[in-house]
Amino acid sequence: MTQEDDFKNDQLEQPDAEEIREELQSELVEKTEGEAHKESAEMKEESEVFDHQPELAGENEAEESTQAIEEIPEVSGTEPEITMPEEPALGSVPEPEEQPVEIPVPPLVPIADTGTEQPKAEEKPAARPFHRVHRAEDFDWSLAGKKQENYSVDERHKLEELYDHTLNQIVEHEVIEGQVVAMNNREVVVNIGFKSDGVIPISELRYNPNLKIGEKIEVYVENQEDPDGQLILSHKKARILRSWERVNSVYENEEIINGYVKCRTKGGLIVDVFGIEAFLPGSQIDVKPIRDYDVFVGKTMEFKVVKINQEYKNVVVSHKALIEDELEQQKAEIIAKLEKGQILEGTVKNITSYGVFIDLGGVDGLIHITDLSWGRINHPEEIVELDQKIKVVILDFDENKKRIALGLKQLTPHPWDALDQNLKIGDKVKGKVVVIADYGAFVEIAPGVEGLIHVSEMSWSQHLRTAHDFLKVGNEVEAVILTLDREERKMSLGIKQLIPDPWANIMEKYPVNSKHKAIVRNFTNFGIFVELEEGVDGLIHISDLSWSKKIKHPAEFTKIGEEIEVVVLDVDVDNRRLSLGHKQLEENPWDVFESVFQVGSIHKGTIISASDKGFLVSLPYGVEGFCPMRHSTKEDGTGLRMDESLEFKVIEFSKENKKIILSHAKVYQEAQTAEKVKASDQVKSEVRSAKRVVKKLQDTLEKTTLGDIEALATLKSNLEETEKKEKVKKEKPKEE
């Protein structure tokens, strides 16, 4: 029979309360004696979890135990002795899914003596009322022999709050504050109030050599617990995150910050701003160009954040931006005081190929290369050097654009003012070629005084050339002054005037019909330009190249640079022109051709070229004739072909135009006509003889016999056939 059945039977029998209490105590004693030592050990382990609240836990449990003992009614005349452990055990912490269950506390009985004297629990004046069990249903038999919750819901809630306050609630990937609790040469241990401390490499804190134990630093929680159970922290990432927030705030508010120049890089410097490496371009270091960036390394300077790339986390700072506002104000003040012609002292700030920039103390001005020296220079470095202090004169300025035009050469007298007053046109001067262009060369005869030698004044020759064919930069030349304008400060020179003019006695050197040798210099569509000597050129017209050949372009006859014999045909002294000829070296062959190539004469020729209009035929004696297309049909009806040799008949001859017109068709057409005429004459003679015979027969008709009549009939038929053939022959030539 189970304990529950016994309890029910006893209840049915309605025993008194004393008997029920005794039975329960006996059953509990048997179960608790075996578990006493085990529960004592477990309670000690659990009590270690609440080391921070030992006194509170002990007082609560002792109070509950005392109250429970006081609530037990006396069983007999003597109060039972209750043995308690030295330290009260804490109630076990239930699993999250279980709810604490409060059950009635049964009367306790003395535990068997184990040889150790247990101290008695302290008695409290206040005692909770004992809730008697009047029915069996009020007792939960499933909790018998198990750990029981000794705290109420409110007490347990208070203890959990105290426990939670000892641990911080941390979230990964956030920046929190921690305290340095230990450090060595390699690592720093930081307590953030978590169940374990984090370790940070000492290299992340080298910027703070005075770090001490107990100081608070910001750390970034990378991982609450890695595979080894270690809390992973980073001070470097915390600094970067905090720094990035500060940099963005500074950029939005346009604040001025301090930064440390760490090192030099390509195009600028690297600046440490709040632990972030920012880029300082070389153009943003100062308002004037900086040539040596290394002088700024290791310095702490003021900067302004001018650009942030959120995607690549790049920051660009500027030191120049801080002083630009001040410089703009200075520029406005300086420009307001400027006057044209004012002389100021400045420093050479920059040198370019087109001029020099001068720092006038907060504002820059430009000296153009043409205003550096009265003489011609190739580069400004020939006159000034960087950082050189020079005096300049203000030529012009623009207040709106804040541009200032300066001059250096204007501080010295103009060289034209010091030019020799006795110098005049026709005088010979010496100078150096400084510039050469296609149209001429500039010669410097004195510093700042130049003259132009035009290409037409370099040679008496008339054919086209450039100045590069005569002179080179740096050549020392002698020239004659052709024009001189002191007011405009211009001078023109010439070097061909140093030699005699070949046209001065041209009629004596090159009379008409005189023969000479010349060099071919140039071709045109209408003739050839030749040079007889330096400065004496002539033209051979294309029609004066050959008597017999028809030349389309001079390149068919000769080449540039070749020597050719010419005859002077005409001389124009005023225009300096010579008319020359080449074919005049021989007699005119057309005087002879007139008697050889008479109209109607037949000559053998070779076809040398063809065109849409006809064929060009080469005839004997080197002369050429033209055969029109209508006269080029052969006897068999085919056309003429290249390089074919045939007989041609002259149908036209012009001595003045030097033209011969030929025909090949006329050759065989006239032969055919002659044969036809000969055949026609023969037929006519036969007809006449036949008519005479007929007439004679008619006269003797009466004397004829029968045989004679038959003979006459035959003769008559023959005559009729002959007449028909003659008519047919006459009709054929007409049709052709």
pLDDT of residue 297 exceeding 50, the answer is yes
Pairwise pLDDT comparison (210 vs 721), residue with the higher score: 210
Contacts by 351-355, CB closer than 8 A, 24 or more apart: 351/380, 351/381, 351/384, 351/386, 352/380, 353/379, 353/380, 355/380
The mean of the pLDDT values for the chain is: 75
* Higher pLDDT, residue 730 or 438: 438
Q: Across residues 287-306, what is the average pLDDT? A: 85
Superfamily (CATH H level) for 254-322:
Nucleic acid-binding proteins (2.40.50.140)
From the options 3.40.710.10, 2.40.50.140, 2.40.30.10, 1.10.3760.10, give the CATH code of 590-663.
Answer: 2.40.50.140
Full DSSP string of 595-660: HHS-TT-EEEEEEEEE-SSEEEEE-GGG-EEEEEGGG---TTSPPP-TT-EEEEEEEEEETTTTEE
Indicate the range of 380-389, 432-441, 460-469 predicted with least confidence.
460-469
The whole-angstrom distance between residue 674's C-alpha and the CA centroid of its chain comes to 89
Question: Under CATH, which number does the domain 175-239 receive?
Answer: 2.40.50.140
pLDDT of residue 12: 44
Number of C-beta neighbours around residue 189 at 10 A: 17
Residue of 335, 398, 386, 327 whose CA lies nearest to 356: 386
Say if residues 205 and 183 touch (Cβ distance below 8 Å): no
Does the pLDDT at position 187 exceed 80? yes
Tell me how long the chain is: 736
Contacts 24+ apart (CB under 8 A), 411-415: 411/343, 412/374, 414/374, 414/448, 414/489, 415/374, 415/375, 415/446, 415/447, 415/448, 415/449
pLDDT at 126 over 80: no
By the 8 A CB rule, do 282 and 274 touch? no
Distance of CA 586 to the CA centre of its chain: 70
Whether the predicted pLDDT of 231 surpasses 70? yes
Mean per-residue pLDDT, 380-391:
90
Class assignment of domain 415-498? Answer: mainly beta
Asked whether the predicted pLDDT for residue 259 surpasses 60, the reply is yes
Give the pLDDT score at 531. 85
Looking at residue 266, the DSSP 8-state letter turns out to be T
How large is the greatest C-alpha to C-alpha distance in the chain, in angstroms?
225
Domain 506-585 annotated CATH 3.40.50.2300: no
As beta bridge partners, residue 258 has: 302
Asked if 209 and 215 count as a contact pair (C-beta separation under 8 A), the reply is: no
Upper half-sphere CA count for residue 299 (Cβ side, 13 Å): 12
DSSP assignments along 133-195, one per residue: --SGGGS-GGGTTS----S-HHHHHHHHHHHHHTS----TT-EEEEEEEEE-SSEEEEE-SSS
Which range scores top for mean pLDDT: 68-77, 296-305, 695-704? 296-305
Strands 645-654 and 624-628, sheet pairing:
unpaired
Query: Mean pLDDT lowest for which of 54-68, 123-137, 382-396?
Result: 54-68
Domain 338-411 has CATH 3.30.450.20: no
What is the pLDDT, as a whole number, of residue 404?
87
> Phi and psi at residue 135, in whole multiples of 5°?
-130, 155
Mean pLDDT to the nearest integer, 28-35: 50
622 pLDDT exceeds 80?
Answer: no
Q: How confident is the model over 452-462, as pLDDT tens digits?
A: 999 888 887 76
Give the residue carrying structure tokens 């080029």: 632
Q: Is the pLDDT assigned to residue 7 strictly greater than 70?
A: no
Q: Which residue has the higher pLDDT, 503 or 728?
A: 503
- In this prediction, residue 23 has a pLDDT band, given cuts at 50, 70 and 90, of low
Which has the higher per-residue pLDDT, 244 or 182?
A: 182
Q: Are 384 and 390 in contact (CB under 8 A)?
A: yes
pLDDT band at 52; cut points 50, 70, 90 = very low
Per-residue pLDDT for 734 more than 60? Answer: no
Assign 279 a pLDDT band (cuts: 50, 70, 90): very high
Residue 367 has a pLDDT of: 92
The pLDDT score that the predictor gives to residue 206 is 79
The pLDDT value recorded for residue 131 is 45
Q: Give the residue-averaged pLDDT of 154-167.
A: 73
- pLDDT score recorded for residue 537: 83
Q: Is 304 within 8 Å of 253 (Cβ atoms)?
A: no
pLDDT confidence band for 270 (50 / 70 / 90): very high
Percent of the chain with pLDDT over 90: 6
pLDDT of 579 higher than 60: yes
Q: Are 284 and 296 in contact (CB under 8 A)?
A: no
Residue-level pLDDT at 100: 45
What pLDDT score does 711 carry? 64
Mean predicted confidence (pLDDT) in 113-140:
47
Bridging pattern class, strands 490-494 and 449-454: parallel
Of the candidates 437, 456, 455, 442, the one whose C-alpha atom is nearest the C-alpha of residue 490 is: 442
Phi and psi torsions of 564, nearest 5°: -140, 145
Q: Residue 66 above 50 pLDDT?
A: no
Whether residue 21 is predicted with pLDDT greater than 50 in this model: the reply is: yes
Per-residue confidence (pLDDT) for residue 80, from 0 to 100: 42
pLDDT at position 496 over 80:
yes
The DSSP letter of residue 386 is T
Q: Supply the pLDDT for residue 316.
A: 92
